Structure 1
Amino acid sequence: MPWFLYLIECADGSIYTGIATDVAARFDKHSTGKGARYTRSRKPVRVLASFELAGRSEASRAEYRVKRLSAAEKRALIAGALTLDAVMPQSQAPDADAVPAG
């Protein structure tokens, strides 16, 4: 089942980042005050972007990384000037030139 990373614009201009399997239903929860504490006080306005990910684990890792971006970086991600792949750490492949210890 796919999971989504989503970014919501709040009434104060801030951007909330979350994950869900159904972004529209989750936005409705935020709008009715039954979502995150952050959106209860800042009133969500609209979904700015969503990104489909393979599963909950990948979505949680992406959420962790995106929440640490600056507001300007989040806006660049929303605009497509920054990709989600660029935000995620690259897996460490073994170095072919490395000499084994021992």
Structure 2
Amino acid sequence: MCYVYILQCSDDTLYTGWTNNLEKRIATHNSGKGAKYTRNRLPVKLAYYETFDDKSSALKREYAIKKLPRHKKLDLVQTMNISF
């Protein structure tokens, strides 16, 4: 199982990524060993995620989400019902 996720960073920016282990990846981000973008914006918190059966589908969706403007990403976050 693969996941595409959106994180809310401490400066209220959004980060989108993919992984095959969501809990471990968020912990890695919060330990400062995740993406360079999130290292100076800790802590991060999960705002949204989707599941996929394969890596290829997840990567395509990650790319599509990264191209969205911020307000569209926030629309996705609202559908997840995770407090933001």
Secondary structure at the counterpart of residue 42 of structure 1: coil
1:54 CA displacement: 1.5
- The unaligned stretches of length 5 or more in structure 2 are none
Q: Relative contact order (C-alpha < 8 Å, sep 6+): which is higher?
A: 2
Higher helix share: 2
Mapped to 1, the partners of 2:65 and 2:53 lie a distance apart of 17
**C-alpha offsets along residues 56-91 of structure 1, whole Å, 9 cap, x if unaligned?**
00000000010011111001011129xxxxxxxxxx
Mapped to 2, the partners of 1:29 and 1:80 lie a distance apart of 25
Check conservation: 2:38, 2:44, Cα contact below 8 A.
Answer: no
**Which TM-score applies when normalising by structure 1?**
0.74
Q: Superposition pairs for residues 1-102 of structure 1, below 5 Å?
A: 2-80=1-79
Larger Rg computed on CA atoms: 1
Report how many aligned residue pairs link the two structures: 80
Mapped to 2, the partners of 1:38 and 1:71 lie a distance apart of 16
**Which TM-score applies when normalising by structure 2?**
0.89
Secondary structure at the counterpart of residue 5 of structure 2: strand
- Displaced runs of 4+ in structure 1, greater than 3 A? none
Mapped to 2, the partners of 1:78 and 1:55 lie a distance apart of 22
Mapped to 2, the partners of 1:7 and 1:19 lie a distance apart of 9
Q: Which amino acid aligns with 2:27?
A: D
Report % sequence identity. 32
Q: Which amino acid aligns with 1:47?
A: L
